[in-house]
Chains A and B, each alone.
Chain A
Amino acid sequence: MSPVAPADGDIFEVFVQAGVSNALTHVGSLVTGCPDEAWYLAKETYCRRDDIARLWVVRRGDMIVSGPEDLPALTARTRMPFRQAGYPVARRRDRTGEPVAAPVEVGRPTSGPPSLTALWFALADDLFLLGHRLSRHVVDYIDIEDSLATGSISQEATAHARRIVEQCGLTEAGADAHFFDRPAHCWCPSGVSLCDLDSWPATVVSGLVVAAAVVALAEETLAVDPDPELVPELTAIRTEQAMHLEHWRHWVAALAADEATTAEFTTDCRDIVACAGDLLGGPAMSLPGSRLPTDAADLASVHTRFAALLKESVTGELTDRPTPRAADPTNSPLPAVLRRAKVVRDRYRPGTFL
């Protein structure tokens, strides 16, 4: 008798769960012309050795199965490859051979009033530190909307920080070195960036004052006729930060209204607003490669814009004019914060940028 290909109706697929702790698994198929016998035949064929928790038999013709033509639809190409395990190591650019930038050589402190460039350069530090600080809260999954907002703001704050220092004349690699390889004693962050890093209300107020400072500085810069090529990017930064400001305003209203948080929040608010005057008080600095305006900034005008934005948003006494930043942050939480920011990079082979 010559072999005969079985009809689809005669083929049964067999699924077995051996023991309660194992998964139900496809173990094979069998052919029988008698459907009533299929289950018993499967038991005799596949279930003679183990204790079986479940035995399922399904006629192949009744199953909805994928074929080779469905493979494109099943390929994971639209599912955010950069969020998949292994992506960072496999795909990120390896810059091992590229020259290492000298991060502290870029700007030179000068005397006299700071330029808009110098104010941007200093504010980039606070944006970077805010982005890093917020990243700790991305996994607070109490409210998915807030988790998404915190993640987006964190991501944009860091991206803005990088673009600002690049516009101030740093290369891509230089910007990376500026944030990740600069020793703590060379930093000059605002007091806001180091205020009570563990408290959520303090983080909210810090986020708000940093966003307000960026909006104020962007509006001031756009008002003094910058390089036309910078306008779209500066406008985008201003608008994105205005959206962050709006988000923090909602949080401020919620924390101030809630009896449980209002006392702690009012104290945090007062303390942080009191030291926010130095956000736009970056040191005078010469950055010859900058595309941002390098003339002396109209500090009173910037400060007025900033104060107006804060007045609409929070209570607390802002100083009358920009205050200088504390010179040496070595004895602050900064060294620990910078070490934490670097931790994730230590897991990749040297030279792999994040």
Chain B
Amino acid sequence: MTLNDAVGGVLDPEIDVTLAALGVVRSVLTERDRVVVTLAPTRIGCPALGEIGRRVRAAVHRVAPGVAVQVEWLRGTWRPEDVSGAGIRALTSAGYRVAGGDTSCPYCLSDDVTRAGRFGGGVCRTPFSCRSCGSSFDLLGTATCGLRDDIT
């Protein structure tokens, strides 16, 4: 397995989706005696950065035991468009939609959905509820997505 695959295959701590599919992995470079992994967190205030960093270091060590790993965060650069097709499918099956894309209910596909507040259970999420089947779901995205303007 390559380092890229190992880092890309790390699972997000909250949702069953890989960091590669989530569009978080920016680069994995080998520099002389160390591996530099550059990641873009979805939000500056994401509480899972420590856990993601730990998982990334563990994944690199499974491929290259003992190597020094440096995790760099490119804050403010992640965009919902960075989520891959596989990421969107994985998120949909976990009950999430991604900002800027299909905002129908991930459970019943109804378009009759309403935003249930500006802030969700995590800083990267906006809560929605479906008026058709009554399910609650979250829209993954950042304040920079213009959520306040295009959905009311």
Known contacts A78-B14, A240-B143, A243-B148: A156-B44 contact under CB 8 Å: yes
Let me know if A149 and B119 touch, CB within 8 A. Answer: yes
Residue A311, interface by CB 8 Å? no
A49-57, A229-237, A327-335, A344-352 - interface stretch: A229-237
A-B contact count (CB 8 A): 92
Let me know if A145 and B116 touch, CB within 8 A. Answer: yes
Q: Mark A73-117, 1 if CB is under 8 A from B, else 0.
A: 000011111100000000111000000000000000000000000
Known contacts A77-B11, A82-B51: A236-B75 contact under CB 8 Å: yes
Known contacts A81-B13, A237-B44: A163-B75 contact under CB 8 Å: yes
Q: In chain A, what residue has the closest Cβ to B17?
A: A78
Residue A242, interface by CB 8 Å? yes
Residue B48, interface by CB 8 Å? yes
Contacting residues, chain B, for A149 (C-beta < 8 A): 117-119
Known contacts A155-B123, A158-B45, A163-B75: A80-B14 contact under CB 8 Å: yes
Let me know if A148 and B127 touch, CB within 8 A. Answer: yes
Residue A247, interface by CB 8 Å? yes
Residue B83, interface by CB 8 Å? no
Let me know if B50 and A78 touch, CB within 8 A. Answer: no
Let me know if A234 and B47 touch, CB within 8 A. Answer: no
Contacting residues, chain A, for B142 (C-beta < 8 A): 236, 239-240
Number of interface residues of B (CB under 8 A): 32
Known contacts A145-B117, A148-B119: A243-B76 contact under CB 8 Å: no
Residue A274, interface by CB 8 Å? no
Contacting residues, chain B, for A145 (C-beta < 8 A): 116-117, 119, 127
A304 to B7, CA, bound (A): 47
Let me know if A246 and B118 touch, CB within 8 A. Answer: yes
Residue A153, interface by CB 8 Å? yes
Let me know if A160 and B118 touch, CB within 8 A. Answer: no
Contacting residues, chain B, for A92 (C-beta < 8 A): 50
Contacting residues, chain B, for A156 (C-beta < 8 A): 43-45, 123
Let me know if A152 and B77 touch, CB within 8 A. Answer: no
Known contacts A80-B13, A242-B143, A246-B148: A155-B75 contact under CB 8 Å: no
Known contacts A81-B51, A148-B127: A232-B119 contact under CB 8 Å: no
Residue A159, interface by CB 8 Å? yes
Residue B121, interface by CB 8 Å? yes
Q: In chain B, what residue has the closest Cβ to A143?
A: B117
**Min CB gap B96→A, angstroms:** 11
Let me know if B76 and A233 touch, CB within 8 A. Answer: yes
A92 to B127, CA, bound (A): 29
A237 to B142, CA, bound (A): 11
**Min CB gap A120→B, angstroms:** 14
**Min CB gap B122→A, angstroms:** 8
Let me know if A78 and B15 touch, CB within 8 A. Answer: yes
Let me know if B75 and A91 touch, CB within 8 A. Answer: no
Let me know if B143 and A243 touch, CB within 8 A. Answer: yes
Contacting residues, chain B, for A235 (C-beta < 8 A): 76, 144
Q: Mark A140-154, 1 if CB is under 8 A from B, else 0.
A: 000001001101110
B residues touching A (Cβ–Cβ < 8 Å)? 11, 13-16, 43-48, 50-51, 54, 74-77, 94, 116-123, 127, 142-144, 148
A-B contact pairs, 15 of them (CB 8 A): A77-B16, A78-B15, A80-B14, A81-B13, A82-B48, A93-B50, A149-B119, A152-B122, A155-B45, A155-B47, A156-B43, A158-B45, A160-B44, A232-B74, A247-B118
Other A-B pairs beyond A148-B127, A232-B77, 12, CB < 8 Å? A77-B16, A79-B14, A82-B47, A152-B123, A158-B45, A159-B46, A233-B44, A234-B76, A240-B45, A242-B143, A246-B118, A247-B119
